[in-house]
Amino acid sequence: MPALAMRGIVKRFGDLVAIGGVDLELDPGVIVGLIGENGAGKSTLSNIAFGAFAPDEGTVERNGIVGLVHQHFQLVERLSVWENVLLGREPRKGWRLDVAAARARVRELGERYGLHVDPDAIVETLPIGMKQRVELLRELEREPAILLLDEPTAVLAPSEIESFFTTVVALAERGIAIMVVTHKLAEVIAYTSRVCVMRAGTIVARYETNQTTAGELARAMVGGEIPPLSERSPLPRQVLPILHVRELRARTGSDAIDGIEFALQAGEILGIAGVEGNGQTALADALAGVTAYDGTIRFREEELPDSLGPRGRMERGMQIIPQDRHHEALVLDWSLAENAILGRQGSAEMRRGQQIDREAARTFAQTIVERFDVRPPRVDLRVRGLSGGNQQKVVVGRALAGTPKFVLAYQPTRGIDVGATALVQSRLIEARNAGTAILLISFELDEIFALADRVLVLYRGKIAGEFNRDAFDRGRIGALMAGHT
Amino acid sequence: MKLPRGVRDAAIALGIIIVFGSLAMLLAGVNPLDGFSALLIGALGNVQETAETLVQTTSLLFPALGIALAFRAGLFNIGAEGQLLMGGLLAGVLGEQLTAPGFVTIPILLLAGAVGGGLWGALAGWLRARFAANEVIATLMLNYVAIQVAAYAISGPLKSAGGAGYETGELPAQSWLPTILPDTRLTVALILALALAFFLRWMLRSTVVGYQLRAVGDAPQAARRAGIDLAKMRFWTMAASGAIAGLGGATVVLGVLHRFNLALSPGYGFIGIAVALVGELDPLWVTVAAFVFGILQNGAIGMQAAANVPRDVVTAIEGLIILVLAGRRIITRNGSD
Amino acid sequence: MLSFLWLMLIKSAPLVYAALGGVLCERSGVLNIGLEGMIAIGAFSGVSISYATGNAVIGAIGGVASGALLGAILGLAATRFRVEQIVAGTGINLIALGGAAYGLVIVFGQPGASKEVNALGPAGEIAMVCLALALAGLLHVFLYWTRAGLHVRACGENPRAADVAGIDPLRVRFWATTAGGALAALGGVFLAMAELDLYSDGMSAGRGFIALAAVIFGRWNPLGAAAAALFFGAFEALQFTLQRTGIPSEFMQALPFVAALVALAGFAGRARAPASDGIPYTRAR
């Protein structure tokens, strides 16, 4: 008797068919993995299973309560842990909230599932791993028969992932039906009993986990072979670094770096590995010139004044690929051509006196479209209508145009499909080959391993270790990412 | 059939005017047909009235253009009324003193109007840039402060010989804006406003500055990372927005009243918001919208006189239009500050 | 000194009511620029209904109801139609002010001001001052000690999280805005019927906007906002005390607004609004 049975599920968003006929069953005590690349429909399917979305066709039968731990936490940051865990089901004493009972309940849950959190802590003060615990406790409080976990390990260090799955396995042993939605094949192989592969809105393959391999899953996910990356030319020998950072201290919100030093030479890709929230955003913002910092940044023999903003840095040959293309890189309602010149609109090439040179902008956009295979290849279309992968190609193409001296790439392939990922990564390698120095900040260790010549591990705002390409040690790096020395 | 948004919004505005106008007229014991015909005759019935409608159009168009400019940059300028007043004040006070010929004084006085309004707008812009003070409340507060400053100025230290109560004396005739239709109050101000509308449209669509302004309004974080100085852009946009409204105030002083009077605006700065919205923040469509609202403003007087419908109903209807057309997101709040 | 204190309370009471209304709305996630209009409509409706029925208390209730209606309109616009709330609030102000001016002619046959009506009298004035302060405490208890209040706060910070927890953010916001409108209208009732006994054009005189500044200055906290309202009201009371000195009346009249500006400038950077304040919520379905 399945705990959850979805049959014939179809879901459309306007013209887009997000789910095109899916059957899926979850049984008590069984951990099922749902894999697929970005845009395949995994999150939509989980939301339908949870009940947040209603399917346009098909049925969902649930034998018990469904809990969903979201990829992006749904917590009220300014409220306390107990207020979040018990939101909507708060204990009462007459007309008042029974705070003592609430606290006790949170502690009791913590005991039962081994997820201890201080009930009175305000959520926004907690580190990301703890926030995830709160999210999980909130779902467990309702005693679900079915638990859906959407990309649960995105914010965990490799060693934390193990203890997380220990908890998950224990929950399964209590009889909860569990589905883990992820794109991390190693975890699926290690922890699930069954795997379903989604592609373009349907389930294209189902396996018993012990009868398949990561390679077979990868091919099923992509529907073919993953295109190889461009070749790397040998690293040139150089004396002077193009970028030298010393004693850098900066803070963006709760993300901070606390005195780091590194050097980067032309034609090198330096990877910054680490779990999200250990200073990457502060580092990126300091280099981009959007946040104040202490310490020195030397670029091409010049010590940059810390008041130098993004424009000055761009004029000196620095380009940034921001983390969030929707809010930090693109103006969604503008055309591709107008977006292409964002940052260059005042330059001599793009203007004629006071006016924007529209032809030059379109020509420039056209070269990006061609080099990065942007589809549809029409520079007058609004960028909002492009897929995530194509939007990201515009952002990356714009940054790499003209072979800049330095590029900061912050999560350059976040949330885009495998094909676009391969293309972007190849272009980054080609830029490296042509002499661009690249600082790659990524939360995906695989990406760093594919691209970087050297890796620095960032933990709690400091550099915890450095590795050369010929000495990449996944286990060691993973340990450093979690703070083990 | 899916209509282009501008047409749809204009139709909605028209619908509101007809439906709620009729209701209000019925409540006042007036047949809507009588009421609306009184309105239209009052606005366009003869050359004189049409000219006066165009006068109202002009007085609305200036603040509406300033507001639209600010809205395009993501700034809520609710202070056009105060900026308009300050522009008028400066033009009126200075205008009484100048005795040079018109071709000298008029440009100076118009400039003074722009400066007065521009300073008032810049004040709000400075508060936003320097202190992160919400410009909605800042501009609202400054409206009331402007009234007091103007009242104090013209009844106190800047009191003129010819002035009485809350107005200045009459300006010398050479400083009056030349009329373009004899025996009416319609002046070259209309030409100036139209020219300004065309200029702003060109500026927003084709220039580098306009590109940057739109970026600040449409995607502030992306604009910032692309090297655009948000604080500077916002400050100067508020100043420009205020200057345009102030220019409008000056044209009322120089062209319509020929003196500064504390009550020179029946709420142009607020109605201008409705005009800017109906015009979809595009300077050319804002001009068309200003004409429609000019009909309402001028027609309301005739409607009250001929058909006994209280003219304030027009204000309420304008408010309803603002409410219903508030659909467009003016600012993108994605960690914009 | 005591008389100044009383004067301050009287001048602050409308601000307190409006500020509390603003706090409730914004805590649920709706920016209410329309407080000015809600004060005006409460004042006008209260006077008109008192005129029609001859009963001040019924008039007051009517005034509150009219504010609730305006609040409901804003709430609907904000939730169902997801409008730009600042613009919508501006529209509400014009509707109320124009509507009241128009109403003066329809109801009283004369523009500019109404006739004198049965009002709440000195006893009513004292009662309403006490009610204002009591409501500040009650709203505080509601927001921080009750379940419904917690839900309101959750909707203002992260409506999606509230939705996931089974709370309907659209409904919560609608009712919070309606209640907020009622509270603000109480300020108008006080203005027209406790302090005076008539309505005149423009009598709200920007109080609704000062109340907004009080909400920010008071950190979106009922007790804080009430205290801020008292602070701004003190400036208005000061006008009367300093009347006989040589200070020009215009300067005095500008004082509350300047005080609000200064408070805003000094404070705004550090104050944090509810995270979803002013942002319409869309349920992805």
Model pLDDT, residue C162: 93
CB contacts < 8 A, A to C, total 57
The maximal CA–CA distance of chain A, rounded, in angstroms, is 75
The span from the CA of C174 to the CA of C80, in Å, is 9
B143 interaction partners in chain C (CB closer than 8 Å)? 206
Residue-averaged pLDDT of chain A: 91
Contact in structure between B216 and B228 (CB atoms under 8 Å): yes
A46 and A97 within one domain: yes
In this structure, are A52 and A139 located in the same domain?
yes
Q: Within the 116-145 window of chain B, which residues sit less than 8 Å (CB to CB) from chain C?
A: 127, 130-134, 136-138, 140-145
Render pLDDT for C76-100 as a digit per residue (tens, 0 to 9).
Answer: 999 988 888 988 999 999 999 999 9
Beta bridge partners of B67: none
Report CA-CA distances (Å) from A78 to A126, A138, C157: 11, 16, 7
Which residues, including other chains, have CB under 8 Å from residue A239's CB and lie 6 or more apart?
none
In a domain, C278, yes or no: no
Q: Does B151 touch chain C (CB under 8 A)?
A: yes
Using left for φ > 0, alpha for ψ between -120 and 50, and beta otherwise, residue A224 falls in left
Nearest-by-Cβ selection for C264 from B28, B134, B267: B134
Least CA distance to A355: which residue of chain B? B207
Band (B188; pLDDT cuts 50, 70, 90)? very high
Q: Is residue A14 part of a domain?
A: yes
A84 touches chain C (CB under 8 A): yes
Residues contacting residue C138 through CB under 8 Å, at least 6 positions apart = none
Q: Is residue B328 within 8 angstroms of chain C, CB to CB?
A: yes
Q: How large is the C-alpha radius of gyration of chain C? A: 18
Residue C228 forms part of a structural domain:
yes
Cα B47 → chain centroid: 24
**Are residues B241 and B70 in contact, defined by beta-carbon separation less than 8 angstroms?**
yes
Please list the residues that pair with A437 across neighbouring strands: A406
Residue with tokens 């589905």: A179
Residues in chain A closer than 8 A to B335 (CB atoms): 327
pLDDT at B112 exceeding the cut of 90: yes
- Domain interval for residue A428: 243-329+402-481
Task: Flag whether pLDDT at A356 surpasses 90.
Answer: yes
Chain A residue closest in CA terms to B204: A355
Residue A424 lies in a domain: yes
Nearest CA in chain A to C165: A88
Q: How far is A326 from chain C (nearest CA, A)?
A: 17
Contacts of B23 (CB under 8 A, 6+ apart): none
> Average of pLDDT values for C220-231?
95
Q: Would A345 be classed as within a structural domain?
A: no
Residue-wise pLDDT for B65-93, tens only, equals: 999 999 999 999 999 999 999 999 999 99
In a domain, C282, yes or no: no
Residues of A in contact with C167 (CB under 8 A): 87-88
Considering the domain architecture, whether residues A249 and A205 belong to the same structural domain is answered as no
Strand A454-459 with A462-468, pairing = antiparallel
Please give the share of chain A, as a percent, with pLDDT higher than 70: 100
C100-159 per-position pLDDT tens digit = 999 998 889 888 888 888 888 888 899 999 999 999 999 999 999 999 999 999 999 999
Indicate the helix (H) or strand (E) that contains B89. Answer: helix B80-97
More confident residue, A346 or C270: A346
Question: What's the mean pLDDT in B164-180?
Answer: 85
Taking CA atoms, what residue in A is nearest to C168? A88
Determine the distance from the C-alpha atom of residue A321 to the mean position of all C-alpha atoms in its chain, rounded to a whole number. 14
CA C285 to CA C279: how far, in whole Å? Answer: 18
Q: Do A87 and C158 touch (CB under 8 A)?
A: no
pLDDT tens sequence across B229-252: 999 999 999 999 999 999 999 999
CATH classification of the domain holding A302:
3.40.50.300
CA–chain centroid gap for B46, Å, is: 25
Chain C residues closer than 8 Å to B324 by CB: 91
Alpha-carbon distance of A342 to C268, in angstroms, equals 31
Which residues in chain B (9-68) have CB-CB distances under 8 A to chain C?
Answer: 24, 27-28
Per residue in B290-317, pLDDT tens?
Answer: 999 999 999 988 888 888 888 888 889 8
Whether the pLDDT of residue B2 is over 70: the answer is no
Please give the Cα distance from A397 to A390 (Å, whole number). 10
Q: Mean pLDDT across chain B, nearest whole number?
A: 89
A19 & A121 share domain: yes
Interchain pair A311, B227: CB under 8 A: yes
pLDDT greater than 90 at residue A76? yes
Which tens digits make up the pLDDT trace of A424-458?
Answer: 999 999 999 999 999 999 998 889 999 999 999 99
Q: What is the mean pLDDT of residues C257-275?
A: 80
Say if A356 falls within a structural domain.
no
Residue A377 lies in a domain: no
Q: Do C145 and A92 touch (CB under 8 A)?
A: no
User: Which chain C residues have a beta carbon less than 8 Å from that of B127?
Assistant: 261, 264-265
Cβ contact (<8 Å) for B323 and C279? no
Same domain for A166 and A33 = yes
pLDDT tens-place string over residues A125-149: 888 888 999 999 999 999 999 999 9
How does residue C269 score in pLDDT terms, banded at 50, 70 and 90?
low
Q: What is the CATH number of the domain that holds C90?
A: 1.10.3470
Q: Are B102 and B177 in contact (CB under 8 A)?
A: no
CB contact under 8 A, B270 and C90: yes
Residue A143 lies in a domain: yes
Q: Percentage of residues in chain A with pLDDT exceeding 90?
A: 68
Residue C284 lies in a domain: no
- Taking an 8 Å cut-off on Cβ atoms, the answer to whether B141 and C86 are in contact is no
With contact defined as 3+ CB pairs under 8 Å, the chains touching A are B, C
pLDDT at B277 over 70: yes
pLDDT number for residue B183:
84
Mutate to test the interface with B, among A252, A327, A382 (most CBs of B within 10 A): A327
A266 shares its domain with A163? no
At A163-177, the pLDDT tens digits run: 889 999 999 999 999
The three-class DSSP label of residue A54 is: coil
Is the Cβ pair C101, B273 closer than 8 Å? no
Strand, coil or helix: A291: coil
Instruction: Please tell me the predicted confidence (pLDDT) of residue B160.
Output: 67
Note whether A124 contacts C: Cβ–Cβ < 8 A. Answer: no
Which residues form the domain of C176?
Answer: 2-267
Q: CB B224 to CB A310 under 8 A?
A: yes
CB-based contact A330 B226, cutoff 8 Å: no
Q: Are residues A204 and A248 in the same domain?
A: no
Beta-carbon separation of B208 and A354 below 8 A? yes
ipTM above 0.90, yes or no: no
Task: Pick the residue of B30, B60, B128, B134 with the most C CBs within 10 A to test the interface with C by mutation.
Answer: B134
Residues of B in contact with A355 (CB under 8 A): 206-208
pLDDT value at residue A169: 94
Q: Out of A172, A189, A222, pick the residue that ends a domain.
A: A222
Residue A265 belongs to some domain of the structure: yes
Q: What pLDDT, on the 0 to 100 scale, is given for residue B336?
A: 37
d(CA C23, CA C32) in angstroms, rounded, equals 9
Q: Which residue of A has its CA nearest to C166?
A: A88
Question: Would you say A37 and A417 are in contact if contact means Cβ atoms under 8 Å apart?
Answer: yes
Which pLDDT belongs to residue B330? 57
Of B28, B76, B314, the CB nearest to C106: B28
Instruction: State how many domains chain C has.
Output: 1
**φ and ψ at A320, to 5 degrees?**
-120, 135
Packed helices B283-307 and B5-27: angle between N→C axes, nearest 10 degrees: 10
Are residue A64 and residue A157 in the same domain, yes or no?
A: yes
Determine the residue of chain C that is closest to B331 in CA distance.
Answer: C84
Instruction: State whether A159 and A277 are in the same domain.
Output: no
Whole-model pTM: value is 0.89
Query: Would you call B137 and C260 a contact, using CB atoms and an 8 Å cutoff?
Result: yes
Residue from A349, A355, A382 to probe the interface with B (highest B Cβ count within 10 Å): A355
β pairing state of A269-273 and A318-321: unpaired
C contact test, residue of A87, A135, A148 with most C CBs within 10 A: A87
User: Taking CB atoms and an 8 Å limit, are A331 and B219 in contact across chains?
Assistant: yes
CB burial readout A19-58, b (16+ within 10 A) else e? beebebbbbbebbbbbbbbbbbbbbbbbbbbbebbebeeb
A74 in a structural domain: yes
What's the pLDDT tens digit per position in C15-54? 999 999 999 999 999 999 999 999 999 999 999 999 999 9
C147 and chain A in contact, CB less than 8 A: yes
Domain count, chain A: 2
Relative orientation angle of helices B135-155 and B102-131, to the nearest 10 degrees = 140
In this complex, do C90 and B133 lie within 8 Å of one another by their Cβ atoms?
A: no
C268 and B140: CB-CB below 8 Å?
no
Span A190-201, average pLDDT: 92
CB contact under 8 A, C158 and A68: no
Q: Do C165 and A83 touch (CB under 8 A)?
A: no
Q: C152 CB near a chain A CB, below 8 Å?
A: no
Residue contact C264–B133, C-beta within 8 A: yes
pLDDT recorded at residue B335: 33
- From the list A69, A29, A34, A223, the residue with the least C-alpha distance to A150 is A69
A78/C157 Cβ within 8 A: yes
On chain B, the residues whose CB falls within 8 A of the CB of C279 are 333
pLDDT 10s digits, A274-295: 988 899 999 999 999 999 999 9
More confident residue, A318 or B25: A318
- Select from B200, B205, B211 the residue whose CB has the most chain A CBs within 10 Å, as the one to mutate to test that interface: B211
Q: Chain A contacts of C275, Cβ < 8 Å?
A: 77-78
Among positive and negative, which fits the CA dihedral B202, B203, B206, B211?
negative
